Structure 1
Amino acid sequence: MQGEFNSGKSSVINALLGERYLKEGVVPTTNEITFLRYMDLDFGEQRCETQPDGQYICYLPAPILKEMTIVDTPGTNVILQRQQRLTEEFVPRADLLLFVLSADRPLTASEIAFLRYSQQWKKKVVFVLNKVDIYQNTRELEEALSFIKDNIQRLLNAEDVILYPVSARSALEAKLLSPSNEELPVSASHYDVSNFYKLENFLFSFLDGSTIPGMDRMRLKLETPIVIADKLISACETLVTQDYRYAKQDLSAVNDVVNGVNDFAMNMETESLSWRRQTLSLIETTTSRVVEQVEATLRVSNFDIIASYVFNGEKHTTPATSRIQNDIIGPSVLAAQSILEEYGKWLGSKNTQQGRLYKDSLEKRWPLLVSENSLMNFETYELLTKVDQSGSQVIENFNRSAASKSFEQEFREMFVETFGQLGVAGLSASLLTSVLPTTLEDLLALGLCSAGGYLAVLNFPNRRQSVIDKVKKRGDTLAYELEEAMKKDFTEAIENLDTFVRVISKPYQDQVQNRLNRLVVMQEELSNIERKLRTLQIEIQNLNVS
């Protein structure tokens, strides 16, 4: 039985019991949920006890308790939250809610709130308007009844509202005047008392399974576990859906760490490009210096070098070749090796730093898996610092001595092939053209030259350009090989980081994926249970048909 305190709940119960067993008053008199049960005692006696589970039970000799257990609950407007919680927890267990309203303040805010709460359990509610003896006439009573019914239908979306207007005190007094205490005396036939008699008849009919109200009771009683199961299923589905969403977020977070290597690679590519440009600039500068030295050496005016190659056939290295090897190529090779060594350290350092960031990120989000990940072997961590140094290998394979000898050979071949057939006079006349300051003098000198000398001098610039083109081609080839090697080092470093991240991420991915798989199974199981509940609910509803 439910209602606000001072609505007359205790009075209604006493009227049902036919004796003043419960205290009545204008202050809250029910502090706990009280179970009223039958026990064969002397009339007027009672025995109350508190059960280990906190329930307060009173055993009374009232005959009506042979048919039912009456539960008196704290008022809907009680102050203590504990009492409110106890009341709300008990509602799902009740077969019928007898809701007592007070004629002097029907449908208060707390009553409406409680009624809305109870509707989720689809309980049968019978309203008792108590203290109707305060109304002056029938018209006031009818207005009150109409007001209450209309508001209950509107607020609770209910079609039929069962409402009994009574005066519990008058009904109790009438019962106390009846020695048998079984039915109201004829003298108590006024409206509010007779309606209390109708209320009692409804309650007994509700308990009788052969009546329509009794069938409703059976159906509601059978549906109660289903309604409770629905609530539990709904709560489980909410939790599972929420957990599934969190698991998807976790999986996305792990994948973001794995995919973050791509973003890191794009940022690293920009820095790697500056390293490659540095080495290419060094090769370009070195090539330019070699070209300048070649141009300075391959001149017709260098009579001593030409004569040495053409007539003396000397096999020793010339000063020009030594300068190319020792002053240009040698220092450049050392500089390139230094750059490439730093480049390798840079790749390893960046990988190590980024790998630790990824690892720390995973461990911070899922600290329970730290011990499992700590068992990774040394080879996994070694991936972060592993750099093949392909660029350094290209420089090491570049033989500066062989390059210098190649230049020496090309110088010798050029001079011998150009001037080897002229002889001393022809060579001297030919070389003269390169040192005469005026065009007229050049023409006079050419006049002294043989036709062969003239042609030799005429072809000399083309041969020199051929040597220069070879130098540039070698420089371009070296630059290409070095750039490709540095790209390879970069790609392998990123692949190693990617492998490392995938290895350390796998336990987290596996755990989250397994969690998702379990949640999917749980969702399917909940759906199956829900379908079975719907089938069972239909079967229960069909009980009214048979």
Structure 2
Amino acid sequence: MRALLTVEQERLRADLRATLGELGSLLKAIGASPADQSLLADALRGLGELFLLVVIGEFNTGKSTLLNELIGSRLLPEGVTPTTAAITLIRYGERESEEWHDEGYVERRVPSAPLRDLAVVDTPGTNAIIRRHEALTRDFVPRADLVLFVTSADRPFTETERELIAAVREWGKKVVVVVNKTDLLETPAAVDQVVEFVRDGLQSTLGFSPVIHPVSVRLARAATNTTDPAAARALLAASRLDELRTYVFRTLDETERLRLKLATPIGIGENLLARYEEITDRRLADLGEDLRLVDNVERQIDVYADDLRRGFGPRLAAIENVIHELNDRGERFFEETVRLGRVFDLLNPERTRGAFEREVVSDMAERIDLVIDGTVDWFVEAESRLWRQVSGIVRQRQQMTAIVSDDPDFIVARRDVLRAVADRTHATLSGFNREREAREIGQSMRDTVAQTALAEIGAVSLGAAIAIMFGTALADVTGLLAATLTAGLGLYIIPMKKRRALAAFHRKTDELRERLIQSLKTQLDHEIAVSTERIREAIAPYTRYIRAEANRLNAERASEQRIRAELGRLRAQLPPVSDQSR
């Protein structure tokens, strides 16, 4: 940019450089395509370069001839067939030169005064034989500060041209439209009719009507070639090329060119941001489904644990019923056995103990075992059902991920983690052995009842533990009978000892009930914790990955929003559009 910038303009350009640099760092961090990163880098470099005018249109609309007349040099080849074999960048030079670039375009320099203030790009027609030029054209258009769109009066605004101008619209470029070959139309009214047709098409495609210049490059060329000054002036006036030349080189003054020059990288930044914001939003939406999957699994785990704790109540009640029956049997035993009429039986402790075990303890241990077995089966079935639910949820999400595959870079890593989790849950479910699980959990519960709840007795069976526990109450009666009877105190001692023995028996049944209930609750909580931890551990890699990705993408979105706001602020500070350049 040749003009000296004011302090405010220089600050604006510096802020724009910084913002685009931040956007470049973001694009690199999120893995943007090399083409997009290169486009942004070119936009940054373009801030310090000449105003760039890019000429586009179909072949045989006279683009090259038009540029030759505007520049005042026969630099570009002309003809009715596609003559521009490559995109041509035309700059000012003290002498004519030509240099080919690896990117597929040619740079030509020419000593033309208008080119001191701007560079021009001539592009092959959009219907040119070598289709790769269209991609190059699309690469140059985003970098343009002004787009000169050339259509032909004999084939105005074709469908191909409509598609091309729609692509230009995506970049928010200022467009000046040239309707060439107006000399082919017979009357000014016909020219106006074509211009109106083009205007309507542009309004429909762009949403607004840009400046339209009807010209005849053939008449302008005739004016250049004639030696008759009067004829030259008449031909040039009829061509209306001077109106276009004045607009491009004079009406677009330094302020307007500065505005367009700064608007170009802002537009590129906004366009790239929109593209990657859409990608970020789509990825966050996908992750939202994944997070809902994780939350769904957590809900299933919570429901599983709550159902187990609620469903454990009736099973605890069944154990309490067994203890109540034990209590009733004990009362009957003491009433029938510990009395003066059975004194000789009481003098035989082993015999009395055997009767106690047969009549009171009896099948208590087996009945508690049955309750435990039923509880274990119920628990194992609930755990198996939970694994089936979780496996089904993961498999369903895996199938959905396989269908939605329009973002392969993002999906591959996520799909691999999900596949690993699905395989792990499926393997666990396939290897879930109910008999083994029931055996291990059942043994654990029995050990808890017989050893933890009655730890002071030692490592014995449940039945033996109950017999030992209540046998001590019986010993209080039988152990002193010989002494009391010998002293003649049986009539008084036996009823008293029976009351004490019954009280001790009731205390022990209460203690047994409380210990059993508490032990089984503790064991249930332990088994719930173990089973839920196994589920969480199985999906932990997926959970960690999804939450980490969500955090990363939310950070990206925040950066995108911050950069977009800054670009909007910078756009608002651009010089206003002058009335003449509208």
Q: Which TM-score tier does this pair reach, normalised by the shorter chain?
A: 0.5 to 0.7
Counterpart for residue 376 of structure 1: none
Instruction: Say yes or no: does 1:170 pair with 2:222.
Output: no
User: Given that residues 127 and 164 in structure 1 are in contact (C-alpha distance below 8 angstroms), is that contact kept between their aligned partners in structure 2?
Assistant: yes
Cα shift readout 1:11-68 (whole Å, capped 9, x = no counterpart): 323444453842422x544453222345666xxxx86553122213345576765664
Residue in structure 2 matching 1:123, options 173, 184, 188: 173
Give 1:226 shift: 1.7
Counterpart for residue 206 of structure 2: 156
Q: TM-score, normalising length from structure 1?
A: 0.66
Counterpart for residue 305 of structure 2: 265
User: Given that residues 35 and 55 in structure 1 are in contact (C-alpha distance below 8 angstroms), is that contact kept between their aligned partners in structure 2?
Assistant: yes
Counterpart for residue 225 of structure 1: 265
- Within 5 A, what are the aligned runs for 1:174-193? 174-178=223-227, 186-187=231-232, 189-190=234-235, 193=238
Q: How far apart in 1 are the matches of 2:169 and 2:345?
A: 117
Q: How far apart in 1 are the matches of 2:526 and 2:130?
A: 70
Structure 1: segments with no counterpart, 5+ residues:
207-211, 300-304, 371-383, 424-459
Counterpart for residue 485 of structure 1: 519
Instruction: Say yes or no: does 1:403 pair with 2:448.
Output: no
Instruction: Say yes or no: does 1:392 pair with 2:392.
Output: no
Counterpart for residue 62 of structure 2: 8
Counterpart for residue 199 of structure 1: 244
User: Given that residues 321 and 404 in structure 1 are in contact (C-alpha distance below 8 angstroms), is that contact kept between their aligned partners in structure 2?
Assistant: yes
Counterpart for residue 106 of structure 2: 56
Q: How far apart in 2 are the matches of 1:287 and 1:156?
A: 92
Give 1:222 shift: 2.0
User: Given that residues 337 and 395 in structure 1 are in contact (C-alpha distance below 8 angstroms), is that contact kept between their aligned partners in structure 2?
Assistant: no
Residue in structure 1 matching 2:418, options 365, 369, 391: 365
User: Given that residues 18 and 176 in structure 1 are in contact (C-alpha distance below 8 angstroms), is that contact kept between their aligned partners in structure 2?
Assistant: no
221-230 vs 188-197, greater mean Cα deviation:
188-197
User: Given that residues 391 and 489 in structure 1 are in contact (C-alpha distance below 8 angstroms), is that contact kept between their aligned partners in structure 2?
Assistant: no
Q: How far apart in 2 are the matches of 1:55 and 1:64?
A: 22
Provide closer, same or farther for how the CA distance between residues 471 and 512 of structure 1 changes in structure 2, counting only shifts above 3 A: same
Q: How far apart in 1 are the matches of 2:85 and 2:361?
A: 101
User: Given that residues 4 and 76 in structure 1 are in contact (C-alpha distance below 8 angstroms), is that contact kept between their aligned partners in structure 2?
Assistant: yes
Q: How far apart in 2 are the matches of 1:316 and 1:79?
A: 119
Q: Tell me the matched-pair count.
A: 467
Counterpart for residue 333 of structure 1: 365
Q: Secondary structure at the match of 1:163?
A: strand
Give 1:277 shift: 5.7
487-496 vs 128-137, greater mean Cα deviation:
487-496
Q: Secondary structure at the match of 1:541?
A: coil
Q: How far apart in 2 are the matches of 1:65 and 1:405?
A: 115
Q: How far apart in 2 are the matches of 1:67 and 1:39?
A: 12
User: Given that residues 345 and 351 in structure 2 are in contact (C-alpha distance below 8 angstroms), is that contact kept between their aligned partners in structure 1?
Assistant: no
Counterpart for residue 494 of structure 1: 528
Q: Secondary structure at the match of 1:98?
A: strand
- Within 5 A, what are the aligned runs for 1:204-215? 204-206=249-251, 213-215=253-255
Provide closer, same or farther for how the CA distance between residues 333 and 121 of structure 1 changes in structure 2, counting only shifts above 3 A: closer
Q: TM-score, normalising length from structure 2?
A: 0.62
Cα shift readout 1:284-339 (whole Å, capped 9, x = no counterpart): 665666677678x469xxxxx85452xx6952148565233146515433664686
243-252 vs 322-331, greater mean Cα deviation:
243-252
The one-letter code matched in structure 2 to 1:266 is D
Q: How far apart in 1 are the matches of 2:362 and 2:295?
A: 49
User: Given that residues 300 and 386 in structure 2 are in contact (C-alpha distance below 8 angstroms), is that contact kept between their aligned partners in structure 1?
Assistant: no
Q: How far apart in 2 are the matches of 1:308 and 1:153?
A: 117
Provide closer, same or farther for how the CA distance between residues 326 and 103 of structure 1 changes in structure 2, counting only shifts above 3 A: same
Q: How far apart in 1 are the matches of 2:109 and 2:359?
A: 116
Q: Secondary structure at the match of 1:52?
A: coil
Q: Secondary structure at the match of 1:173?
A: helix
Instruction: Say yes or no: does 1:74 pair with 2:128.
Output: no
Give 1:123 shift: 2.7
Q: Secondary structure at the match of 1:540?
A: coil
Provide closer, same or farther for how the CA distance between residues 472 and 14 of structure 1 changes in structure 2, counting only shifts above 3 A: same
Counterpart for residue 84 of structure 1: 134
RMSD: 5.3
The one-letter code matched in structure 1 to 2:449 is G
Give 1:186 shift: 3.1
Give 1:269 shift: 3.7
Residue in structure 1 matching 2:194, options 132, 144, 151: 144
User: Given that residues 247 and 516 in structure 1 are in contact (C-alpha distance below 8 angstroms), is that contact kept between their aligned partners in structure 2?
Assistant: yes
Instruction: Say yes or no: does 1:34 pair with 2:88.
Output: yes
Structure 2: segments with no counterpart, 5+ residues:
1-54, 395-413, 424-439, 458-464
User: Given that residues 346 and 352 in structure 2 are in contact (C-alpha distance below 8 angstroms), is that contact kept between their aligned partners in structure 1?
Assistant: no
Counterpart for residue 567 of structure 2: 533
Give 1:404 shift: 4.7
Provide closer, same or farther for how the CA distance between residues 79 and 249 of structure 1 changes in structure 2, counting only shifts above 3 A: farther
Cα shift readout 1:454-505 (whole Å, capped 9, x = no counterpart): xxxxxx9xxx999999978865664454233212211233345566777888
Counterpart for residue 444 of structure 1: none
User: Given that residues 298 and 411 in structure 1 are in contact (C-alpha distance below 8 angstroms), is that contact kept between their aligned partners in structure 2?
Assistant: no
Give 1:219 shift: 1.5
Residue in structure 2 matching 1:322, options 354, 374, 382: 354
Give 1:195 shift: 0.5
Give 1:165 shift: 2.0
Cα shift readout 1:328-385 (whole Å, capped 9, x = no counterpart): 51543366468658968997998799799989979943969x9xxxxxxxxxxxxx98
536-545 vs 467-476, greater mean Cα deviation:
467-476
User: Given that residues 18 and 62 in structure 1 are in contact (C-alpha distance below 8 angstroms), is that contact kept between their aligned partners in structure 2?
Assistant: yes
Q: How far apart in 2 are the matches of 1:8 and 1:130?
A: 7
Provide closer, same or farther for how the CA distance between residues 172 and 467 of structure 1 changes in structure 2, counting only shifts above 3 A: same
The one-letter code matched in structure 1 to 2:167 is Y
Provide closer, same or farther for how the CA distance between residues 216 and 121 of structure 1 changes in structure 2, counting only shifts above 3 A: farther
Q: How far apart in 1 are the matches of 2:180 and 2:234?
A: 17
Provide closer, same or farther for how the CA distance between residues 409 and 20 of structure 1 changes in structure 2, counting only shifts above 3 A: closer
Question: Over alpha carbons, which structure has the higher Rg?
Answer: 1
The one-letter code matched in structure 1 to 2:356 is I
231-240 vs 344-353, greater mean Cα deviation:
344-353
Q: How far apart in 2 are the matches of 1:150 and 1:355?
A: 64
The one-letter code matched in structure 2 to 1:365 is L
Q: Secondary structure at the match of 1:189?
A: helix
Give 1:511 shift: 6.6
Provide closer, same or farther for how the CA distance between residues 189 and 308 of structure 1 changes in structure 2, counting only shifts above 3 A: closer
